[in-house]
Structures are given as C-alpha cells and as structure tokens.
C-alpha cells in the first residue's frame, strides 16, 4: 500500500506541475488575445486530474485541500462549458477567463502550501504556516493573480471560432 501511495503522490505532483506550467502558458496567451487551444486542453485536463487525484489519498475527514479541490472542479466545469459549449460568446468570455484564472490560482495556492511543508528552509521560517512569511507569500500570489485577472479579462478577445 505504501508503494501505491508513494506512486500516487509522485503522479499527483507531476500532473499538478504540468497543470501549473500549462496554465501560465494559457494565461499569458490570454494577455495577447490568443486561445492556444492545445495548451488550453492540457491545462484543463491536467488541472481536473490534479483535483480528482487529490481525492484518491486516504482521509478521515474533509480537509481544506478537499474543499479547494471541489471548488476547482466546479470552476473548471464552468470554464469547460464556457469554452467548448458556449464558445466564449458574450459573457462566457469573461466567465471563462475568471474561472480558468481562479483554478490556476488554487493550483498555485496549494503549491505554496506544499513548498512551505516540504522545503526545509521554508519550514524553518514558517513551521505552522501561520507565520508572517507564509502569509506574505500567499498575499503576493493572490495580488499577482488579481493583477493577471484584471489584465486578462480586459485583453482576452480572441478571434471567433468558425
């Protein structure tokens, strides 16, 4: 069982990192009003897989990570509908941008949590994740995503799909 959980942990982490990298490619494409369909499919697929695989780890109670996973899956479902069913028509454009950005933000939020749990130097400065360095790191991530979100909503007006 330990080998299965270790393998799942590595797979979950790898999928998460692919989702984060592809998510930033997609977001920076949005800033140039580009859809980047292949990267978008990778981002959506791996980000859904990240949330789903997070539920495969044993747990006795619903944790904050599960709540973030549920929120992320809801946002991703809306983003997928906005992109593939509603084709970004009308309000679906900004709904897609906001949902995709929030899903990426949640990925990065969890990444910061994991870095502070697993990197020795970060553990030393914020061992309980209630210390100021952890709060500052999360605030910087949040402000970066607010800035990205405002810019992406204003700039992402891709050519219509025909």
- How many residues in the chain? 162
Could you list the residue range(s) of the whole structural domain that residue 20 is in? 2-155
**Number of domains comprising the chain:** 1
pLDDT of 59 reads 80
Residue 160 lies in a domain: no
Residue 139 lies in a domain: yes
pLDDT of 1 reads 66
Residue 161 lies in a domain: no
pLDDT of 4 reads 81
pLDDT in tens, 107-120: 999 999 999 999 99
pLDDT of 2 reads 86
How far CA 70 is from CA of 41, 83, 84, in Å, comes to: 20, 20, 21
pLDDT < 50 positions in the chain: none
Please enumerate in sequence order all residues whose Cβ is within 8 A of that of 78, keeping only pairs 6 or more positions apart, or say none.
Answer: 95, 96, 99
Residue 70 lies in a domain: yes
pLDDT of 63 reads 87
């Amino acid at each position: 069982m330990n080998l299965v959980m270790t393998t799942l942990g590595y797979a979950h982490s790898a999928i998460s990192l692919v989702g984060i990298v592809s998510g930033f490619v997609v977001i920076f494409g949005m800033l140039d009003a580009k859809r980047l369909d292949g990267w978008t499919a990778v981002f959506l697929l791996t980000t859904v897989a990240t949330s789903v695989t997070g539920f495969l780890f044993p747990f006795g109670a619903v944790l904050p990570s599960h709540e973030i996973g549920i929120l992320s899956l809801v946002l991703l479902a809306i983003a997928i509908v906005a992109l593939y069913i509603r084709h970004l028509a009308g309000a679906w454009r900004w709904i897609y941008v906001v949902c995709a950005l929030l899903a990426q933000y949640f990925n990065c939020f969890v990444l910061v949590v994991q870095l502070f749990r697993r990197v020795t130097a970060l553990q030393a400065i914020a061992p309980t994740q209630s210390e100021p360095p952890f709060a500052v790191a999360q605030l910087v991530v949040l402000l970066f995503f607010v800035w990205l979100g405002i810019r992406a909503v204003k700039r992402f007006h891709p050519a219509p799909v025909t």
